[in-house]
Amino acid sequence: MGADVELDVLSLNAWFGEKQALKNINIQIPRRTVTAVIGPSGCGKSTFIRCMNRMHELIPGARVAGKVLLGGEDIYTEMDAMDVRRKVGMVFQKPNPFPNMSVEDNVVAGLKLSGGYKKGELGRIAEKNLRAVGLWDEVKDELKKSGASLSGGQQQRLCIARALAMEPEVILMDEPTSALDPASTAKIEELVQKLKAYATIIIITHNVQQAARVSDMTCFFYLGEVVEFDNTKALFEAPKNPLTERYITGRFG
């Protein structure tokens, strides 16, 4: 695996019971880039990113075969699942701040669980990560308020700050703007570009325009297979596969 590859996916297959959701996936996600994952509903996008942090195996009846190398180590055979999820953070479709925790505590919740931090130190970490997601100026006077009191867009950035606080190597985002208004979406998209300075980003989106705006690489899934994986400009300007062409020009089906 090259030094510039963050995630090396080798012959990855995934099932829900008898149904195969991913078929022989082989891709290399470059380090410190944004990779967009696109494709029609049910094509395996979410299953794919859930295999990247071992969340797929939490579903009863689900199983995985193949390798996912993170920094050269197979996350399924050479790493502890909790360690994988610490190194591979996740942001979900709907913002999910812990409603009983303050804004500040939301950011450092994971660190508190792992222990070993002093209170002042946690405060500094919270500030650093709230600044990183552009939320500090908006919430610095409301740090003790509930995370649930923020707007939807602010809550999503809070969740990103929470993921970032764990200093992950990869952040997975599953349609992070689908529940947000256009202004909040624009802020998240801008943030995604900045986040690649801290981590490798993999983002699922149904919005192909968004994929084109935010990503460096794009991966098109169809029926559980990778149809095309290329740099975003090449894929959106002149896709090599006719299926990709049909999907991104809206002539699918």
DSSP per-residue string spanning 100-118: TSBHHHHHHHHHHHH----
Q: What's the gap between Cα 21 and its chain centre? A: 19
Q: How far is the CB of 188 from other proteins (least distance, A)?
A: 18
How many other CB atoms sit within 10 Å of the CB of residue 201?
A: 25
Characterize the bridge pairing of strands 19-30 and 5-16: antiparallel
Q: How far is the CB of 212 from other proteins (least distance, A)?
A: 7
Cβ-based nearer residue to other proteins, 2 or 242: 242
Cβ-based nearer residue to other proteins, 100 or 249: 249
Q: How far is the CB of 205 from other proteins (least distance, A)?
A: 14
Strand order in the sheet with 19-30: 19-30, 5-16, 62-70, 73-74
Cβ-based nearer residue to other proteins, 103 or 248: 248
Characterize the bridge pairing of strands 34-38 and 217-222: parallel
Q: How far is the CB of 250 from other proteins (least distance, A)?
A: 9
- Give the residue carrying structure tokens 């699942």: 81
**Contacting residues toward other proteins, per CB under 8 A:** 208-209, 212, 236-239, 242, 244-246, 248-249, 251
Cβ-based nearer residue to other proteins, 26 or 249: 249
Cα–Cα dist 53/75, whole Å? 8
Phi and psi at residue 67, to the nearest 5° = -125, 145
Strand partners, 213: none
Q: How far is the CB of 241 from other proteins (least distance, A)?
A: 10
Cβ-based nearer residue to other proteins, 139 or 208: 208
